[in-house]
Amino acid sequence: MKKTIEDIDVAGKKVLVRVDFNVPLDENGNITDDTRIRAALPTIQYLLDHNAKVILMSHLGRPKGEVKPEFSLAPAAKRLGELVDTKVVFASDCVGAPAQDAVDSIADGEIVLLENLRFHKEETKNDPGFAKQLADLADVYVNDAFGSAHRAHASTAGVADYLPAVAGFLIGKELDIMGKALEDPVRPFIAILGGAKVSDKIGVIENLLDKVDCLIIGGGMANTFVRAQGFEVGKSLLDEERIGLAADLLEQARKKGIKMMLPSDFIVAKELKAGIPTSIVPVDAIPADSMALDIGPSSRIVFANEVRTAKTVIWNGPMGVAEIPEFAGGTKAIAEALAETDATTIIGGGDSAAAVKKLGYADKMTHISTGGGASLEFLEGKELPGVAALNDK
């Protein structure tokens, strides 16, 4: 178990907090979705209530080590100021005099937000000197950026070499809920995997085959498994190099007595675009000139019925090209089934999280992970550098 902010005394201390304020901005620099800022509020508020000086740091976008005004965190500082009842100072750099002056200017119970960490190339290189500069601003380090915990960067791992390092509430919750699901789930335990690439999910499938009672596969990655069963997939997305591996995974599941469910029908079209004519075909009849772009109505019913039997469900990856209405029905059917169940439902970040929110089912889920890549690596059983760096209880 890792220490959390509740295990240390923060009163009168300068607390450096790695948050994930990598929020989407429109062309005018306005935040279009402040979910990530709101997700950090419990940790920030706890530190304020316990009279800490709160120094927040984050990245935004991919400025690649250069100062690019369109990636400034200034809009995030403004939004945070509207959400908390205290002073928020924005520092024009994350290290050096601008950062130090900003920290010196605040009292206990006030906040500094440092400018984008990735304006410095040393951040992603986990440069020890840069990590030390960040650490010198504070007395304690808190990591609450689960979305970046799978990266060994200066702000996620390096600073922990110089300061006492603990988890914030967000990372604590992620580790608690997803960790329990993987280590000691209430059964039946079902995992639903979708998305485009099999390569992204191989490690996840291999890890979950030792843990789940049933594995449901949809999305573009299902095509590789369908091909491994000897069916043609037309012009569908296909990972040629991993057909053999898909066959091996199907065989592993069979030997372990794990139910592995693949689509029995698909929505197909000749092109991937909105407004295109579509048809429903069984798994063994995908036309040579078409591509499978969503699971079909029979698959939706079978998958949804299976989900309703579960006591624990993890879902990562949409069932089709969910951003196009014609191919969003499968993802919607899974989301609806999860919303109706009384199971512990965990949405593993990324596209599935976006889909659940867009469909209006977010409040019906037990937990929506804030990390796409991080939650995938966690489900794979990998140790996350940003978590490994924290102090043990």
As given in the structure block, the two tokens for residue 287 are 């036309």
Pairing of strands 53-57, 88-91: unpaired
- Angle at which helix 297-307 crosses helix 329-340, to 10 degrees, equals 20
Task: Give the active site residue among 36, 151, 173, 201.
Answer: 36
User: DSSP character for 185?
Assistant: P
Phi, psi (degrees; rounded to nearest 5) at 217:
-120, 125
DSSP string covering 76-109, please? HHHHHHHHSSS-EEEESSSSHHHHHHHHHHPPTT
DSSP string covering 203-217, please? HHHHHHTTT-SEEEE
H/E stretch holding 248: helix 243-256
* Among the listed residues 46, 75, 81, the one whose alpha carbon sits nearest the alpha carbon of residue 58: 75
Q: Is 275 a catalytic residue?
A: no
Rounded CA gap, 169 and 249, in Å?
A: 36
Task: Give the active site residue among 65, 203, 373, 381.
Answer: 373
Task: Give the active site residue among 197, 270, 308, 358.
Answer: 197
Contacts (Cβ under 8 Å, ≥6 apart) of 306: 190, 214, 216, 259, 261
Strands of the sheet containing 279-282, edge to edge, are: 279-282, 265-269, 291-295
Q: Specify the residue for token string 């998958």.
A: 303
Q: Is 373 a catalytic residue?
A: yes
Task: Give the active site residue among 168, 296, 348, 350.
Answer: 350
Active-site annotation, residues? 36, 197, 350, 373
